[in-house]
Amino acid sequence: MFSRARTLLIAGTGAAAVVLGTAAPGVAAGDDTTLPSAVETFEYPGAAKIFKERGIKLERGDGHILFADCEVSEDIVVYTKPTAGPNRGKYCFRVTGSGKKGYLALDLPDAIGVGANKYDVWASVTGSGFVEVPKNKFKTVGESATGKPGSLLALQV
């Protein structure tokens, strides 16, 4: 009896291996249908649309400083020379996350001022270098500070 049960078990296992082994899908060597890697590039989502609508180039960040509607959030406010279009000349940002630290690389020409409402902010501006803006304060940058037009390159909280 023991040998008959052992024979059936071995035969069943072998049959299952044959059936499952041939039915298992696989990827052939050199197959180009592999999935893309999940490497985070920190590029700003929707940046092309925002650039087209508002003229601000949002490049990359850590997700803790977000471009916002000024009627919703004014954690950080950046002023530029006024240009044609709705709300051009005033750009608002919202700070998110529990640590209240963040970074955003951008390119906003003709920056003239940065306001920090809730957080201390560091702004990188061509012509002015790094400008520290204490919370609840406003500082002139770019043209207003040096006489030459400057571009806002980064915001950091």
Q: How many helices (H) and strands (E) does the chain have?
A: 3, 10
The pLDDT, as a whole number, for residue 55 is: 86
Asked if 146 and 127 count as a contact pair (C-beta separation under 8 A), the reply is yes
DSSP 118: S
Q: Round to whole Å and give the CA distance between 91 and 88.
A: 7
The pLDDT, as a whole number, for residue 24 is: 46
Q: Within 10 Å of residue 50's Cβ, how many Cβ atoms?
A: 17
- What confidence category does residue 97 fall into, taking pLDDT thresholds of 50, 70 and 90? confident
Q: What is the pLDDT of residues 8-45, one digit of tens each?
A: 455 555 555 554 555 444 455 555 555 555 555 567 88
Place of tokens 């977000």: 66
Asked if 154 and 103 count as a contact pair (C-beta separation under 8 A), the reply is yes
Q: Within 10 Å of residue 85's Cβ, how many Cβ atoms?
A: 10
Task: Output the pTM of the full model.
Answer: 0.69
Higher-confidence position of 87 and 151:
151
- What confidence category does residue 76 fall into, taking pLDDT thresholds of 50, 70 and 90? very high
Q: What is the pLDDT of residues 119-140, one digit of tens each?
A: 999 999 987 789 999 999 999 8
- List, in order of start, the domains of the chain with CATH numbers: 47-156 (2.60.20)
Q: Which of 10, 108, 112 is nearest to 59 (CA)?
A: 108
Q: What is the mean pLDDT of the chain?
A: 78
Q: What is the pLDDT of residues 38-74, one digit of tens each?
A: 555 567 888 889 888 888 899 999 999 999 999 999 9
Q: Within 10 Å of residue 58's Cβ, how many Cβ atoms?
A: 24
Q: Round to whole Å and give the CA distance between 36 and 18.
A: 32
The pLDDT, as a whole number, for residue 34 is: 58
